[in-house]
A = this chain, B = another copy of it.
Amino acid sequence: MLGVRCLLRSVRFCSSAPFPRHKPSAKLSVRDALGAQNTSGERIKVQGWIRSVRSQKEVLFLHVNDGSSLESLQIVADSSLDSRELTFGSSVEIQGQLVKSPSKRQNVELKAEKIKIIGNCDAKDSGFVHIHTPIITSNDSEGAGELFQLEPSGKLKVPEENFFNVPAFLTVSGQLHLEVMSGAFTQVFTFGPTFRAENSQSRRHLAEFYMVEAEISFVNSLQDLMQVIEELFKATAMMVLSNCPEDVELCHKFIAPGQKDRLEHMLKNNFLIISYTEAVEILKQASQNFTFTPEWGVNLQTEHEKYLVKHCGNIPVFIINYPLAIKPFYMRDNEDGPQHTVAAVDLLVPGVGELFGGGLREERYHFLEERLARSGLTEVYQWYLDLRRFGSVPHGGFGMGFERYLQCILGVDNIKDVIPFPRFPHSCLL
Contact = CB atoms under 8 A, between A and B. Distances in A.
Given A151-B148, A153-B197, A420-B132, A138 B428 contact: yes
Given A136-B423, A426-B164, A430-B137, A148 B159 contact: no
Contacts of A428: 136-138, 164-166, 168
A22 interface: no
A134 B192 contact: no
A78 interface: no
- Interface residues of chain A: helix, strand, loop or mixed (majority): loop
Interface string A112-125: 00000000000000
A165 B421 contact: no
B154 A149 contact: yes
B430 A139 contact: yes
A425 interface: yes
A131 B151 CA distance: 27
Contact of A149 (B136, B151, B166, B181): B151
Nearest to A197: B152
A135 B193 contact: yes
Contacts of A61: none
A166 to B, nearest CB: 6
Contacts of A137: 428, 430
A192 B207 CA distance: 17
Given A423-B164, A430-B177, A152 B153 contact: no
Chain A interface residue bracket vs B = 35 or more
Contacts of A157: 156-157, 159
Given A195-B136, A421-B177, A430-B139, A152 B156 contact: no
A383 interface: yes
Contact of A383 (B134, B154, B208, B430): B430
A269 interface: no
Nearest to A148: B150
A83 B159 CA distance: 62
A201 to B, nearest CB: 13
B429 A132 contact: no
A137 to B, nearest CB: 7
A151 B146 contact: no
Contacts of A330: none
A84 interface: yes
A138 B151 CA distance: 15
Interface string A75-86: 000000011100
A219 interface: no
A210 interface: yes
B164 A150 contact: no
Interface of A: 55, 82-84, 131-139, 146-154, 156-157, 159, 163-170, 176-177, 180-181, 192-193, 195, 197, 199, 207-208, 210, 383, 419-421, 423, 425-430
24 contacts: A55-B84, A84-B84, A134-B208, A134-B421, A136-B208, A136-B428, A137-B430, A139-B430, A146-B152, A147-B152, A149-B152, A149-B153, A149-B156, A150-B170, A156-B156, A156-B157, A163-B207, A163-B426, A164-B426, A165-B428, A177-B420, A177-B430, A181-B420, A192-B192
Given A135-B208, A153-B167, 4 more contacts: A84-B84, A133-B421, A139-B430, A170-B170
